[in-house]
Amino acid sequence: MPDSNPFDPKEGLRAPDLFPWETDMTATAPSGALAPAITRRTDSYLVPIVNGKGGVGKTMLTLALAAHTVKANGRALVWDADPQASSYDLTSVMDSPGYEVVHELDPDHAERIRGMRHIDTIFGDCPGSLEGADILSRIVRQASFVLIPYDHEPESVLPTLRTARRVAELGVPYAVVVTKANPQVGADHVLDAWDTLDRQSIPHFRSFVRLYRAWPNSLKAGVPITRWNERHAPRLREDVAAVHTELLLNIGRVHRGGRARHGAHA
C-alpha cells in the first residue's frame, strides 16, 4: 500500500500504486489450500456491504468478513468506496491484517477489481450518504451478492427498507444481516428485527452479529478480530463465521460459473 498519507482519501485514486499485488502474487493470505499463484476459475466474488444509514455496522462487517476469509486461508480484498475511508484507515494501522485494502471511489474500477482472480472475495464498504447514491448503485449492479447490515434501531428501519428496495430494483441477490444484537435482551432484538423484515418480504440471514465491546476494542488496538484476545471475542468470531458461511451458501445457490442466475434470490 502507498506509504504516503493513508488518511488522505484521494490516495485511493492513483490506480497504478493501488494494485501492487498484480506483480506480487503473495500479497494476501500467507498460506492456503491453493498456492497464491493459482488463480480462480471464476471472477472474484464482489460483496458490497450497503445501507443508507450510518452506524449500522457496515465497516465492522466488512473488516470482520475479510479477516475471517484470511483465517480460512482465503484471499480477501476490502474495497473501501466510502469517502470517509474508515475501512482503509482502520486497516492501515492494523498489525498484519492478511487482506488487502484499497480506497477507490470510482465505481468504473469495479470490473477490473472483479477480474482479479487471485482474490477470492472483495468486500465493498459502501458509502452511507445520499451523495454516494450513484456510486452505490453502480457498485451494486456488479455484485455477486449484497449484504445489508441492520441494527434494528428505530432510526435505521426506514433507511434499511429503502436500501433493500433499491438493491432489489437493481435485480441483484441480497440479504439483510442483523448486527449489534444486544445479548442482554436475549433473542427478542433479533426476532423483532426479523419480524420487521418479514412483513416487508425482505430476505434476511438466520445468522446475525451480537454487540460486544470486543469489536471496538480490537479496532482501537489495531488487531484483526480473528486474533483479538478478550472475553467475548470468540463469540464475535463465531457470529462472523456463521454470517460468512451463510453468505457463501447463498452465493453458491444463485451463481453458476460466477454469474448470477436471472431472478435468483436469497
Ligand X SMILES: Nc1ncnc2c1ncn2[C@@H]1O[C@H](COP(=O)(O)OP(=O)(O)O)[C@@H](O)[C@H]1O
**Segment contacting Mg ion by CB under 5 A, of 51-59, 109-117, 136-144, 255-263:** 51-59
Q: Which does 46 bind (CB under 5 to 8 A by kind): ligand X, Mg ion, none?
A: none
**Segment contacting Mg ion by CB under 5 A, of 85-93, 137-145, 231-239, 246-254:** 85-93
Minimum CB distance to ligand X smaller for 57 or for 132 = 57
Tell me which DSSP letter residue 204 carries.
B
Closest approach of ligand X to the CB of residue 109, in Å: 21
CA 70, 44, 81, 28 dihedral sign is positive
Minimum CB distance to ligand X smaller for 60 or for 223 = 60
- Binding marks (x or -) toward ligand X, 15..44, rule CB under 6 A? ------------------------------
Q: Extract the C-alpha cell encoding 168.
A: 432489489
Burial 170-196 (b: 16+ CB within 10 A, else e): bebbbbbbbbbbeeeeeeebbeebbeb
User: How far apart, in whole angstroms, are the C-alpha atoms of residue 232 and residue 212?
Assistant: 7
Q: Extract the C-alpha cell encoding 5.
A: 498519507
Q: Which residue among 21, 44, 58, 119 contacts ligand X (CB under 6 A)?
A: 58
CA 159, 164, 167, 168 dihedral sign is negative
- Binding marks (x or -) toward ligand X, 146..185, rule CB under 6 A? ---------------------------------xx-----
Q: Taking CB under 6 A as the criterion, which residues in 180-239 touch ligand X?
A: 180, 209, 211-212, 215-216
CB 126 within 8 A of CB 139: yes
Q: Which residue among 59, 91, 144, 160 contacts Mg ion (CB under 5 A)?
A: 59
Q: Which does 212 bind (CB under 5 to 8 A by kind): ligand X, Mg ion, none?
A: ligand X
User: How far apart, in whole angstroms, are the C-alpha atoms of residue 64 and residue 147?
Assistant: 13
Question: Is 91 among the residues that bind Mg ion (CB under 5 A)?
Answer: no
Strands 255-256 and 259-260, by their bridges, are: antiparallel
Closest approach of ligand X to the CB of residue 73, in Å: 24
User: How far apart, in whole angstroms, are the C-alpha atoms of residue 143 and residue 69?
Assistant: 18
Q: To the nearest 10°, the Cα dihedral for 85, 131, 20, 58? A: 50
The contact set with ligand X (CB under 6 A) reads 54-60, 86, 128, 179-180, 209, 211-212, 215-216
The contact set with Mg ion (CB under 5 A) reads 58-59, 86
